[in-house]
Amino acid sequence: MASITLKDVVKRYGTGPKANQVIHGVNAEIADGEFIVIVGPSGCGKSTLLRMVAGLEEVSAGQIAIGGRVVNDTEPSERDIAMVFQNYALYPHMSVFDNMAYGLKIAKVPLDEIKTRVDKAAKILELGPFLLRKPRELSGGQRQRVAMGRAIVRQPQVFLFDEPLSNLDAKLRAQTRLEIQKLHADLGVTSLFVTHDQVEAMTLAQRMIVMNAGRMEQIGTPEQVYHTPASTFVAGFIGSPPMNLITGRADGSRFEVAGQTLSLPLAAPRAGELVLGLRPEHVGLSQNGASGWSLKVEALEMLGAERLIYGRVGHTLFTSRIDATLAPPKVGDTVTLQLVPEHMHWFDADTQKRI
């Protein structure tokens, strides 16, 4: 096991003035045994960053260190890492046992040791009954477990997961997430896990790195990222449904939005153009005639234990989440919203950074 250090890591494709820079100076310290999830939308650079750690992409500038050893110029095979891919990458003509053992055979590990390692990994992943089967005889979830087993038997310092659950259906994804959590608890190996799915990020991560256009927007625990987003991008990306973000002009307890003056239960941190962020669950419907913001209901969604109410504040689509046991309004009704003062988030309108 080993720590990972990313210091001013940059990736460019091409040279000179026409070079395309896709990773912009990422810095992170990942502790020995930590499970880090790199999350962001498609094209944000998360897989490129992971591939640089793996040695599959060259580092244009900066340093990557594994276990205190700088590995910029080290071959992937010498980095003591194991990677699990999105598409399983299993040999179709080999049995499950042979797929898991193949890397060890190439490394000339003794046969007794190979069998011991494969049997141990198969027990952890509940693959014992399938060791003689071919990949075509397995479900998608079982194939992904074989791919993870192939990584486990290598006993690497670092696990790298590149969107390994993307090809699974929703039920299998939830089940495999639990298996990965259990696997990390059992093995304690330093892990980097790339995903665009924020549910995977929130449930798996001890800490998460949120990427946006090749830049690290925020690093922190899921609770820190959710409750204190560092920017409007993080606020809008993490959370389902996303945080409501309303741009307006603040003046004490007044907030002007598209010509409409709204009262705030707690004064804004400063006057001027600001962005107010409100999570849908922190905006309830007013009870007993209490004052608040007026919202004309445009749509409703029933989601089992909760309902989502949609309307507009100024020109901005606004979402409120209420308990499904409450009597819902009807489309076209005007409701009064109540804000929770301690859950109001403020961002600079120019920089989009948290105030």
Domains of the chain in start order, with CATH, are 4-235 (3.40.50.300), 241-348 (2.40.50.140)
**Dihedral, CA atoms, 247, 248, 251, 255, nearest 10 degrees?**
-100
pLDDT at residue 324 in the model:
85
171's enclosing H/E stretch is helix 170-187
Which one, of 69, 60, 179, 200, lies nearest residue 124 by Cα? 179
Mean pLDDT along residues 4-27: 93
Burial of 274 by CB count in 10 Å (0-12 exposed, 13-18 middle, 19+ buried)? buried
What strands, in cross-sheet order, belong to the sheet with 254-257? 260-263, 254-257, 244-251, 272-278, 344-348
Q: Is the pLDDT of residue 349 over 90?
A: yes
Q: Is the pLDDT of residue 328 over 80?
A: yes
| 82-97 confidence digits (pLDDT tens) | 998 888 888 999 999 9
Q: Is the pLDDT of residue 125 over 90?
A: no
pLDDT at residue 172 in the model:
79
> Which of 163-167, 301-305, 336-340 comes out lowest in average pLDDT?
163-167
pLDDT at residue 168 in the model:
79
| 24-76 confidence digits (pLDDT tens) | 999 999 999 999 999 999 999 999 999 999 999 999 999 999 999 999 999 99
Considering the chain, what is the average pLDDT of its residues?
91
* 304: Cβ contacts below 8 Å, ≥ 6 apart: 324
Position 289 confidence tier, pLDDT thresholds 50, 70, 90: low
Which one, of 167, 166, 202, 197, lies nearest residue 181 by Cα? 202
Mean pLDDT along residues 293-315: 91
Mean pLDDT along residues 334-349: 92
Mean pLDDT along residues 221-229: 96
pLDDT at residue 155 in the model:
87
Which one, of 154, 135, 159, 157, lies nearest residue 146 by Cα? 135
Peptide bond connecting 76 to the previous residue in cis, omega within 30 degrees of 0 = no
Mean pLDDT along residues 249-257: 93
Burial 106-117 (b: 16+ CB within 10 A, else e): eeebeeeebeeb
Mean pLDDT along residues 311-336: 89
pLDDT at residue 7 in the model:
97
H helices present in 79-139, as ranges: 96-106, 111-124
Instruction: Provide Rg for the chain, Cα atoms.
Output: 24
Position 192 confidence tier, pLDDT thresholds 50, 70, 90: very high
CB atoms within 10 A of CB 28: 17
| 94-115 confidence digits (pLDDT tens) | 999 999 999 899 989 999 999 9
Burial of 148 by CB count in 10 Å (0-12 exposed, 13-18 middle, 19+ buried)? buried
pLDDT at residue 93 in the model:
94
Mean pLDDT along residues 168-194: 87
What whole-number distance in Å separates Cα of residue 66 and Cα of residue 96?
A: 30
Q: Is the pLDDT of residue 148 over 80?
A: yes
| Residue percentage of the chain with pLDDT more than 90 | 66
Position 1 confidence tier, pLDDT thresholds 50, 70, 90: low
